[in-house]
Amino acid sequence: MEKRKIRVIQYGLGPIGLGTTKLLLTKPDMEIVGAVEIAKEMVGKDLGEILGMKALGVHVTDNAERLFAKVQADVVVHTAGSRLKRVAGQIEEILRGGKNIVSSAEELLFATPENVEAAAKIDKLAREKGVTVLGTGVNPGFVMDALPLALTGVCQEVREVHVERVVDAGTRRYPLQRKIGAGMTPELFREKVAEKAMGHVGLRESLYLIADRLHFILDDVRETVEPVIAEKPLKTDYFELKPGDVAGIRNIGEGFRKGKKIVTLDLRMYIGAENPHDSIRIVGTPDLRLRIEGGVAGDQATAAILVNSIPSVIAAAPGLVTVKDLPAPWCHQA
Binding site for a second copy (CB under 8 A): 23, 26, 138, 142, 146-147, 149-150, 152-158, 213-215, 284-286, 288-294, 296-297, 300-301, 303-305, 307-309, 324-331, 333-334
Provide the 8-state DSSP code for 46. Answer: B
- Give the residue with the Cβ less far from a second copy, 212 or 223: 212
Cβ contact 73:8 at 8 Å:
yes
C-alpha 42/C-alpha 60 separation (Å) is 7
- Give the residue with the Cβ less far from a second copy, 116 or 334: 334
Task: Identify the H or E element spanning 319.
Answer: strand 319-321
Q: Phi first, then psi: what are they for 205, rounded to 5°?
A: -65, -45
- Give the residue with the Cβ less far from a second copy, 74 or 145: 145
Least Cβ distance, residue 216 to a second copy (angstroms): 8
- Give the residue with the Cβ less far from a second copy, 82 or 279: 279
Least Cβ distance, residue 292 to a second copy (angstroms): 5
Least Cβ distance, residue 144 to a second copy (angstroms): 13
C-alpha 217/C-alpha 203 separation (Å) is 17
Least Cβ distance, residue 15 to a second copy (angstroms): 15
- Give the residue with the Cβ less far from a second copy, 112 or 302: 302
Q: How far is CA 277 from CA 92, 101, 103, 152, 168, in A?
A: 37, 30, 25, 20, 9
- Give the residue with the Cβ less far from a second copy, 57 or 286: 286
Cβ contact 227:191 at 8 Å:
no
- Give the residue with the Cβ less far from a second copy, 246 or 267: 267
Least Cβ distance, residue 64 to a second copy (angstroms): 26
The residues with which 284 forms a beta bridge, in sequence order, are: 158
Read off the amino acid at residue 21: T
Cβ contact 30:23 at 8 Å:
no
Least Cβ distance, residue 161 to a second copy (angstroms): 10
Least Cβ distance, residue 97 to a second copy (angstroms): 27
C-alpha 256/C-alpha 202 separation (Å) is 18
Largest CA distance in the chain: 64
